């Protein structure tokens, strides 16, 4: 299980802002050094026995293998490995392990680790065999090892989800700078924390992207691993950013169900059950095949929508291909996804183009119909659009609202398969350049199981001054809890009866509201540049251009010192 970000009751954001320039410089230097000198690898254990050893070994990537034998407390490189499935044995020549192959072992529960590039020149893959019994380890001697003597196989390979950030030059350093900038000027939404023992665990963000009263919307945030204490759930909503937050509703949605099933609410609040998730067979972008690995686990090894786009109106796409059961007429796409920190940075740079005119522009936006703002947002690829291929045409299924950049969120999207006659299902995800990250993708063909949904109002809500504000959060009435300042917070409690003995309880936070930015941009508005954003896909192209600029070494210090 992945560790969640834990923060103390007193947030570090004000301290970071106060010392933002110093921190930016130090972090930039540190991460530039890491980028130049380091990369990453990850390990996985392959379960083997005498019957399946050969097939398991052959399933491992076949290029640039480097075999290491662990026997008692000694290690050797096994050169010229031969796998004999008939005799159930491997053979090869024992040689000393080269210095460049000293990555092992990972610490317990550690999934990946940094290594020095200078120590890994030419290395792409290591395979480690651990033996049950001692073997004859005369240097350079030929050895034969029965399959039955191999108790464990570990594969050490580049962690592509991290290495991709270092092989493109200054990207790791760039993202480090972005993280600091966002800590100072992040443009997101209220943070939500769940109570775990004596501390709070950060879980997600409320009504992301609702940056105007006209864009106010209802949002359903999963609260995984939320454990009640004495049938009481406790959470906290806090303002840690330069914005004014207006929350109209904070209601728990409680579902009791069989532990053999998962449950998720779609973005319209409809409940779906998940029985068996199927992984994609193929993943492509612009007809170029991508690794399937990022889709298989929720491990932050994500698709970044950073491929070169072709004929997609400036948008980036990823296509997942799944097997389709013969009689299935419905499916549910399951994703773990979030907005990228990069998009948060780009959207802030877009707002900077207004200069001192920004606050006046915000006032003007109050008079603009929601439909116009939504159309512009859609034209720029801000939502994550989901398409299914039907009769060789891409059919739009849904546009996923922003979910914020601070935590991955599990989503479910129902898909009607009535008009899908192919034995395969092709699903396309589309957005602006690096606007989203997808950490997991699967499909489920099971029918939804009817379950009762319980909507639970808070029994108490207390702000940072000790004031009871429960009446502001227990119904949709446009009577808002207003949090205008950094440090505003409200602690909310809910009473929920325990599930039956053989049931599991899953909870979501039904929330509704909007927020507005607090900015003090300087300078003359860049009206010529702003007019260009009327074009479809302009923000996506701006994101790509800014990305190229950001990754130019000579611009790093300029970005650190001059970002508003």
Torsion angle, alpha carbons of 553, 556, 557, 563, to 10: 160
pLDDT reported for residue 481: 98
What pLDDT, in 10s, does the model give residues 405-416? Answer: 999 999 999 999
Clarify whether residues 400 and 297 are in a common domain.
yes
Q: How far is CA 176 from CA 26, 173, 551, 564, in A?
A: 11, 5, 12, 17
- Residues 551 and 168 sit within 8 Å (Cβ to Cβ): yes
Q: Which run of H or of E encompasses 125? A: strand 125-131
Of 539 and 173, the one with more pLDDT = 539
| Residue 270 φ/ψ, nearest 5 degrees | -85, 135
Q: What single string gives the DSSP state of each residue in 323-382?
A: E--TT--EEEEEEEEEE-HHHHHHHHHHHHTTGGGHHHHHHHHTTS-HHHHHHHHHHTT-
Tell me the two tokens of residue 216.
């106010």
Q: What tokens appear for 291 in the block?
A: 């690794």
Does 472 share its domain with 422?
no
Same domain, 509 and 468: yes
Each residue of 440-489: pLDDT tens digit?
999 999 999 999 999 999 999 999 999 999 999 999 999 999 999 999 99
More confident residue, 122 or 292: 292
The beta strands (E) that lie in 419-459 are given as: 424-431, 436-444, 453-456
Helices (H) and strands (E) in the chain, counts: 11, 30
Q: Which domain holds residue 200?
A: 186-260+451-517
Calculate the alpha carbon distances from 131 to 60, 76, 128, 333, 504 in Å.
19, 12, 10, 42, 41
With respect to residue 173, please indicate whether it lies within any of the assigned structural domains: no
Residue with the bigger pLDDT between 44 and 31: it is 44
CA proximity to 488, closest of 509, 465, 510:
465
- Helix crossing, 171-185 with 20-37: angle to 10°? 160
Asked if 295 and 396 sit in the same domain, the reply is yes
8 belongs to a structural domain: no
Q: Mark whether 346 and 216 lie in a shared domain.
A: no
Q: What confidence score (pLDDT) does residue 178 get?
A: 52
Q: H-helix or E-strand containing 25?
A: helix 20-37
150 vs 264, more confident: 264
**Token pair of 173, please?**
């350093």
d(CA 242, CA 263): 35
Q: What is the pLDDT of residue 132?
A: 81
Cα–Cα nearest to 186, from 48, 340, 52: 340
Confidence of residue 335 (pLDDT cuts 50, 70, 90): very high
Q: Dump pLDDT digits (tens) for 512-555.
A: 999 999 999 999 999 999 999 999 999 999 999 988 887 764 45
Closest CA to 177 of 165, 195, 193: 165
pLDDT at residue 166 in the model = 37
Asked whether residue 12 is assigned to any structural domain, the reply reads: no
pLDDT at site 552 = 65
Q: Which of 34-38, 248-252, 364-368, 534-538 is the least confident region?
A: 34-38
The mean pLDDT value for 250-273 works out to 97
Quick one: 202 and 331 in the same domain?
no
* List of E strands, 10-54: 38-46
- Would you call 357 exposed, middle or buried from its count of C-beta atoms within 10 A (0-12, 13-18, 19+)? middle
- Name the average pLDDT for the chain: 82
Percent of the chain topping pLDDT 90: 57
CB 201 within 8 A of CB 194: yes
Q: What does residue 181 show for φ and ψ, rounded to 5 degrees?
A: -60, -45
pLDDT band at residue 66 using 50, 70 and 90 as cut-offs:
confident
Are 463 and 469 spatial neighbours (Cβ–Cβ below 8 Å)?
A: yes
Task: Say whether both 413 and 280 belong to one domain.
Answer: yes
Within a domain: residue 9? Answer: no
Assess contact for 265 and 455: CB atoms under 8 A: no
Domain endpoint, select from 497, 517, 537: 517
Residue 487: inside a domain: yes
Strands 288-290 and 282-285: antiparallel
Compute the distance between CA of residue 486 and CA of residue 14 in angstroms, rounded to an integer: 8
- State the DSSP code for 83: E
Region 90-94: what's the mean pLDDT?
Answer: 85
Asked whether residue 282 falls in the same domain as residue 399, the answer is: yes
| Residue 505 covered by a domain | yes
CA distance 53 to 141: 23
410 and 434, same domain (yes or no): yes
Q: Rounded to 5 degrees, what angle do the CA atoms 81, 86, 91 make?
A: 20
Per-residue tokens: 199:
């501390």
CA dist 26 to 16, 22, 23, 30, 562, Å?
Answer: 12, 6, 5, 6, 16
Q: Specify the range with the lowest mean pLDDT, choosing from 23-37, 100-114, 317-331, 519-533.
A: 23-37
In this prediction, residue 561 carries a pLDDT of 46
Closest CA to 302 of 156, 416, 175, 164: 164
Both 133 and 39 in one domain: the answer is yes
Least confident of 78-92, 96-110, 184-198, 451-465: 96-110
CATH number at residue 417: 2.60.120.260
Q: Mind listing the pLDDT tens digit for each residue in 342-357?
A: 999 899 999 999 999 9
User: Given this model, what pLDDT does residue 183 score?
Assistant: 52
**In the prediction, which pLDDT does 63 show?**
64
More confident residue, 457 or 72: 457
Sign of the alpha-carbon torsion through 103, 105, 111, 113: negative
Whole-number percent of the chain with pLDDT over 70: 77
The answer to whether residues 135 and 145 touch, using CB atoms and an 8 Å cutoff, is yes
Model confidence at 1: pLDDT above 60: no
| pTM for this entry | 0.71
Q: What is the distance between the alpha carbons of residues 438 and 318, in angstroms, rounded to a whole number?
A: 10
| pLDDT interval class at 311 (50, 70, 90) | low
Cβ proximity of 127 and 64 under 8 Å:
no
Q: With bands split at pLDDT 50, 70 and 90, how would you rate the model's confidence at 106?
A: very low
pLDDT above 70 (res 427): yes
Is the domain of 485 the same as that of 546? no
From 84-93, 334-343, 459-468, the region with the lowest mean pLDDT: 84-93
Given a cut of 50, whether residue 271 has pLDDT beyond it is yes
Quick one: pLDDT band at residue 181, thresholds 50, 70, 90?
low
**Count, residues in the chain:** 564
Residue 212's pLDDT is what? 96
CA-atom Rg of the chain in angstroms: 26
13 assigned to some structural domain = no
Residue 222 reports pLDDT greater than 50: yes
Number of folded domains that form the chain: 3
**420, 186, 438, 211: which is closest to 316 by C-alpha?**
438
Strand partners, 129: 69, 153
Decide if pLDDT at 419 tops 60. yes
Question: Do both 219 and 321 map to the same domain?
Answer: no
Which pLDDT score, from 0 to 100, does residue 244 have?
96
Q: Would residue 550 count as lying in a domain? A: yes
At 516 the pLDDT is 95
């Amino acid at each position: 299980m992945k560790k969640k970000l834990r923060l103390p009751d007193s947030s570090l954001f004000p301290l970071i802002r106060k010392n933002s320039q110093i921190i930016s410089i130090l972090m930039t230097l540190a991460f530039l050094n890491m980028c130049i000198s380091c990369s990453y690898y990850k390990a996985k254990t392959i379960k083997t026995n005498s019957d399946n050893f050969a097939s398991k070994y052959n399933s491992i990537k076949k290029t640039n293998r480097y075999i290491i034998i662990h026997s008692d407390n000694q290690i050797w490189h096994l050169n010229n490995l031969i796998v004999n499935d008939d005799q159930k044995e491997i053979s090869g020549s024992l040689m000393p392990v080269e210095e460049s192959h000293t990555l092992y072992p990972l610490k317990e529960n550690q999934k990946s680790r940094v290594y020095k590039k200078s120590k890994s020149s030419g290395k792409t893959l290591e395979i480690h065999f651990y033996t049950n019994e001692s073997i004859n380890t005369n240097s350079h001697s030929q050895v034969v090892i029965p399959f039955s003597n191999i108790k464990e196989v570990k594969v050490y390979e580049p962690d592509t989800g991290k290495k991709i950030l270092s092989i493109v030059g200054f990207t790791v350093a760039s993202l480090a700078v972005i993280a600091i900038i966002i800590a100072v000027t992040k443009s997101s939404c209220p943070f939500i924390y769940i109570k775990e023992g004596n501390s709070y665990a950060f879980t997600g963000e409320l009504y992301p992207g609702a940056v105007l009263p006209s864009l106010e919307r209802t949002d359903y945030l999963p609260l995984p691993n939320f454990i009640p204490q004495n049938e009481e759930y406790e959470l906290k909503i806090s303002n840690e950013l330069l914005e004014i937050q207006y929350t109209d509703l904070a209601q728990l949605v409680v579902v009791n169900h069989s532990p053999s099933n998962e449950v998720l609410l779609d973005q319209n609040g409809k409940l779906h059950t998940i029985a068996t998730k199927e992984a994609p067979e193929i993943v492509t972008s612009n007809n170029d095949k991508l690794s399937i690995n990022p889709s298989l686990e929720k491990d932050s090894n994500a698709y970044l929508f950073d491929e070169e786009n072709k004929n997609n109106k400036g948008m980036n796409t990823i296509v997942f291909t799944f097997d389709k059961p013969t009689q299935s007429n419905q499916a549910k796409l399951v994703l773990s996804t979030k907005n990228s920190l990069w998009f948060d940075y780009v959207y802030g740079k877009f707002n900077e183009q207004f200069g001192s005119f920004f606050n006046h522009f915000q006032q003007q936006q109050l008079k603009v119909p929601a439909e116009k703002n939504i159309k512009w947002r859609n034209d720029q690829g801000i939502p994550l659009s989901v398409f299914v291929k039907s009769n060789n045409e891409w059919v739009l299924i849904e546009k996923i609202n922003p979910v914020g950049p601070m935590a991955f969120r599990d989503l479910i999207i129902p898909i009607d398969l009535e008009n899908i006659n192919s034995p395969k299902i092709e699903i396309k995800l589309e957005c602006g350049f690096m606007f989203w990250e997808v950490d997991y993708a699967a499909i489920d063909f099971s029918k939804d199981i009817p379950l009762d949904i319980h909507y639970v109002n808070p029994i108490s809500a207390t702000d940072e001054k000790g004031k009871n504000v429960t009446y502001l959060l227990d119904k949709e009435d446009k009577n808002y809890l207003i949090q205008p300042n950094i440090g505003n917070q409200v602690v909310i409690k809910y009473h929920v009866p325990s599930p039956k003995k053989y049931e599991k309880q899953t909870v979501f936070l039904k929330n509704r509201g909007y927020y507005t930015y607090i900015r003090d941009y300087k300078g003359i508005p860049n009206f010529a540049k702003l007019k260009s954003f009327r074009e479809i896909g302009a923000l996506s192209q701006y994101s790509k251009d800014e990305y190229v600029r950001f990754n130019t070494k000579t611009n790093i210090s300029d970005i650190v010192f001059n970002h508003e």
